[in-house]
Each structure stands twice: as structure tokens, then as C-alpha cells.
């Protein structure tokens, strides 16, 4: 049975700008907002938009992401026909290749998409926090009679040169594409979310693959080729919450915005657009008799005996008596021992902060990689990137 639309999530990048956080984990599997991982947002958007067939192109450090997705049950994507599928590069008759670029990742999965004979394909990013109704985006695409549509957001003109920009006329028809131009002609930033007519996309993917000089990239190759050929291309203006969380600062900022839903635009408590996730089975959180918890998210299984202010704590975090956590993001299983101070930082899963240690400060965001130990009395300065455990009393800048 044919599907009207298939979603493809690009989740194969290294996430190198997240440094130690992605040493052992694919970027879409990085924790967010206490209960979630980044990939939960595009998956939940699909389900809430009645898209029930999703492919996830994985490559770098895929094990944790594959385990997390599993059979897709938390997102109601455990289907006999359709559902969610992780799609690593695989050996074919002509040999095997890693995904060489965003377009090549879709090209290598043409047969997967063809299995469902869709009319449309939506391409999504696995490293964004965004609540978006893809059904409304598809309605726009159909009404315009488009062959390609891209979701865009208006950005400040002063910031526009940092983005790929779509120049569009009064009817939203795209007339030009600028990739991070020094002199912008538009402030419509591409969100990296595309809808294609499948027959058109398939043709251009095959032509792109045949070009030995191509970078096999949507922004550098596919979109310019569509423009060159005068295809019907439209810009869909999106005004909701969207953040690219590909850097330490942007990931920390987005987590802090979750604490302020009234002003930030992201409300994880919105019952009309739920974000679904796979959660561990843990007991309720425990708040000790002398603990102080203010303006924070504290997830199941946490045990808080110290002070927690304006922070996001994922499942199973322990904050011992006399410890202080402030403006921080603590992922699953972090332990902060007595007297330690943790401020303006991100601690990856299973980090142990020794007694009296200090991490972060009032400046740039520090971060510590998965499973590392910061020894008793050690100091991790603001902005530090910690890839290896820190010995007792040691200082890391």
C-alpha cells in the first residue's frame, strides 16, 4: 500500500561542535530537556502530523541511537507497514560507501523510499529542537503546486549572513539561494527541512550521484540544480520554536529556554503537541529534608539533598548534601558529591563530580564527556572542554 509521504531524518553527522558530548554518542541521541533526546522532536512532530513512515539515516556512533529507537513503540511507530527504521550505510552489489553528504544519504536509501511509493518525501534534520506541524507544511506545498518547498524563518538582518538564505518573491516563490553570503539579499533562513515531490527528488539524486565533482549535498548541489532548471520552488514561512543545537552554547541555551516556556516559545507541557520519548523505569524523585530546589526540571529517579537552582536534571541524577548545581544541564546518571559546585555547564551521562570539586563559573559554558570523573577538589574552569577524567586537585582550563 502506497504512502502519501515518507519522512527521512538525517542523523549521521559527527556533531564535532558538541566536542566531548558526542565522543561516544551520535548527536541526535544527546539528551535534552531532562526527559528527551534530540531525535524525539522530529519523531514526535512526524507522529503529531500523521506521518507514520520514517527512515533515520545513521552513521557516526549509531549504537546508542539504534537502541534508543528500537521498534519505535514510544512514538507509536511500531507498524507492520511503515513505522520507523534506522538506515546505516550497507553493502550493495557494487560495493559499499559511507554516506558522503546529505543528498547521498538519501540516494543510498532510494530503494527504502520506493518500497512505499510515496508522492512526497520530507527531509528532516536530526540535530534541531523544533515543534512544527508538517501536515500544514505539506498543505502549503500542495496549494502552491510546488516541486520543492523549504521551511524558512525570518532572522535578524545582522545575523542573516550566518545562514543559507532563500530569496523569494511576494508569492513565496524562490528566485535565488544564497549560502552564508557576505551581503544578504534576504533574511529568510533555511531550516534544513524540505518537502520534495518524490519523482523530482529521485531524478536529481541520481543525476547528482553521477557527477564525480559533486559534494552530494542538498544546499551545495541539489537546491542550486533545481533553481538552474526553473523548478517550482517555494519558501514556507515558519514562526514557531526552532533551534539548531549543534554547539555547546546553543544546546545549553535551548535547555535553559525549556525552563521559561512563557517567554521562550518552547513548552514541553503543551498537551496539544506532545513530545514522546523512551523513558527508563525509575522511581519518583526524592527531595531531601534540607534540599533546596528552585526553578528547575527534575526527572524521575533523581535524589536531591543539596541545592539546585535554574537547572535541568535528567533521570537518576544524585546531588549530595552541601553540593550546589546552578544554571546547569545534568544528563542521566550524573552524581555531584558533597560540597561540589557545578555552574553554567553541561555534564554528559554518568559523570561523577568528586567532593569539593568545582565545574564552570560565570562565563563560557564548560562541559564534561560521558562517563568521566572529576576528582575531589579538582577545578574545571569556565568554557573548558573535558575529554578525559580529571585527577583529584587538578585544574583544567
SS3 for 211-266 is: CCCCCCCHHHHHHHHHHHCCCCEEEEECCCCEEECCCHHHHHHHHHHHCCHHHHCC
The residues, any chain, with a CB within 8 Å of residue 85's CB and separated by 6 or more, are: 54, 55, 56, 112
pLDDT digit string, tens, across residues 249-271 = 999 999 999 999 999 999 999 99
Q: Would strands 335-336 and 318-319 be described as parallel, antiparallel, or unpaired? A: parallel
Low-confidence ranges of the chain (pLDDT < 70): 14-15, 90-96
> Is residue 253 part of an annotated ligand binding site?
no
> Is residue 101 part of an annotated ligand binding site?
no
pLDDT digit string, tens, across residues 53-72 = 999 999 888 888 999 999 99
As a whole number of angstroms, the distance between CA 126 and CA 67 comes to 16
The residues, any chain, with a CB within 8 Å of residue 210's CB and separated by 6 or more, are: none
pLDDT digit string, tens, across residues 112-159 = 999 999 999 999 998 899 999 999 999 999 999 999 999 999 999 998
Three-state SS across 140-195? HHHHCCCCEEEEEEECCCCCHHHCEEEEECCCCEEEEEEECCCCCCCCEEEEEEEE
Q: Which residue's entry shows cell 514541553?
A: 268
The three grid cell numbers given for residue 350, joined into one nine-digit string: 554518568
CA angle at residue 136 from 134 to 140, to 5 degrees? 115
Secondary structure class of 273 (helix, strand, coil): coil
Options 3.90.550.10, 3.40.50.2000, 3.30.300.30, 3.30.1370.60; CATH for 3-257 is: 3.90.550.10
As a whole number of angstroms, the distance between CA 128 and CA 337 comes to 33
pLDDT recorded at residue 59: 84
| Residues 312 and 330: beta-carbon distance below 8 Å | yes
State the span(s) of the chain assigned CATH 2.160.10.10: 284-384
pLDDT recorded at residue 19: 84
Q: Count of alpha carbons within 13 Å of 292, Cβ hemisphere only?
A: 8
The CB density around residue 63, as the number of other CB atoms within 10 Å, is 12
User: pTM for this structure?
Assistant: 0.94
- What own/partner pairs with CB < 8 Å and gap ≥ 24 does 89-94 have? 89/59
Three-state SS across 309-373? ECCEECCCCEECCCCEEECCEECCCCEECCCCEEECEEECCCCEECCCCEECCCCCCEEECCCCE
> Is residue 180 part of an annotated ligand binding site?
yes
| Residues 216 and 102: beta-carbon distance below 8 Å | yes
pLDDT recorded at residue 91: 54
pLDDT recorded at residue 93: 46
Domain 284-384 has CATH 3.40.50.1980: no
- Give, as one character, the DSSP assignment of residue 285: P
State the span(s) of the chain assigned CATH 3.90.550.10: 3-257
The residues, any chain, with a CB within 8 Å of residue 314's CB and separated by 6 or more, are: 31, 34, 35, 299, 330, 331, 332, 333, 334, 349
As a whole number of angstroms, the distance between CA 220 and CA 215 comes to 7
As a whole number of angstroms, the distance between CA 322 and CA 318 comes to 12
Measuring CA to CA, how many Å separate 321 from each of 16, 153, 330, 394?
35, 45, 17, 23
Amino acid at each position: 500500500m502506497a504512502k502519501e509521504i515518507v519522512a527521512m531524518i538525517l542523523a549521521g553527522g559527527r556533531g564535532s561542535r558538541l566536542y566531548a558530548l558526542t565522543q561516544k554518542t551520535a548527536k541526535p541521541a544527546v539528551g535534552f530537556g531532562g526527559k528527551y533526546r534530540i531525535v524525539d522532536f522530529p519523531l514526535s512532530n512526524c507522529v503529531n502530523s500523521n506521518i507514520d513512515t520514517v527512515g533515520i539515516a545513521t552513521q557516526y556512533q549509531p549504537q546508542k541511537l539504534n537502541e534508543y529507537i528500537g521498534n519505535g513503540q514510544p512514538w507509536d511507530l511500531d507498524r507492520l507497514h511503515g513505522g520507523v527504521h534506522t538506515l546505516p550505510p550497507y553493502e550493495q552489489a557494487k560495493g559499499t560507501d559511507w554516506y558522503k553528504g546529505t543528498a547521498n544519504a538519501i540516494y543510498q536509501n532510494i530503494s527504502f523510499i520506493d518500497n512505499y511509493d510515496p508522492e512526497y518525501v520530507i527531509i528532516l534534520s536530526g540535530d534541531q529542537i523544533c515543534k512544527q506541524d508538517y501536515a500544514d507544511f505539506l498543505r502549503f506545498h500542495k496549494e502552491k503546486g510546488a516541486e520543492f518547498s523549504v521551511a524558512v524563518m525570518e532572522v535578524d538582518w545582522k545575523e542573516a549572513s550566518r545562514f543559507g538564505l532563500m530569496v523569494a518573491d511576494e508569492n513565496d516563490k524562490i528566485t535565488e539561494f544564497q549560502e552564508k553570503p557576505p551581503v544578504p539579499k534576504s533574511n529568510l533562513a533555511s531550516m534544513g527541512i524540505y518537502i520534495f515531490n518524490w519523482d523530482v527528488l529521485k531524478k536529481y539524486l541520481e543525476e547528482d550521484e553521477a557527477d564525480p565533482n559533486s559534494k552530494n549535498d542538498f544546499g551545495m548541489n541539489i537546491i542550486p540544480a533545481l533553481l538552474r532548471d526553473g523548478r517550482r520552488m517555494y519558501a514556507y514561512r515558519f514562526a514557531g520554536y526552532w533551534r539548531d543545537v549543534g554547539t555547546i552554547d546553543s544546546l545549553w541555551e535551548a535547555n535553559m529556554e525549556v525552563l521559561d516556556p512563557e517567554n521562550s516559545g518552547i513548552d514541553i507541557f503543551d498537551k496539544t503537541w506532545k513530545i514522546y520519548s523512551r523513558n527508563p523505569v525509575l522511581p519518583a524523585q526524592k527531595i531531601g529534608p534540607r534540599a533546596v530546589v528552585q526553578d528547575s526540571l527534575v526527572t524521575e529517579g533523581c535524589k536531591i539533598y543539596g541545592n539546585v537552582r535554574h537547572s535541568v536534571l535528567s533521570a537518576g541524577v544524585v546531588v549530595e548534601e552541601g553540593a550546589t548545581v546552578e544554571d546547569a544541564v545534568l544528563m542521566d546518571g550524573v552524581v555531584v558529591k558533597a560540597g561540589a559546585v557545578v555552574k553554567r555547564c553541561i555534564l554528559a551521562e554518568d559523570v561523577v563530580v568528586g567532593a569539593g570539586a568545582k565545574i564552570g563559573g560565570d562565563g563560557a559554558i564548560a562541559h564534561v564527556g560521558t562517563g568521566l570523573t572529576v576528582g575531589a577538589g579538582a577545578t574545571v574552569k569556565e568554557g573548558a572542554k573535558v575529554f578525559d577524567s580529571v585527577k583529584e586537585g587538578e585544574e583544567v582550563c
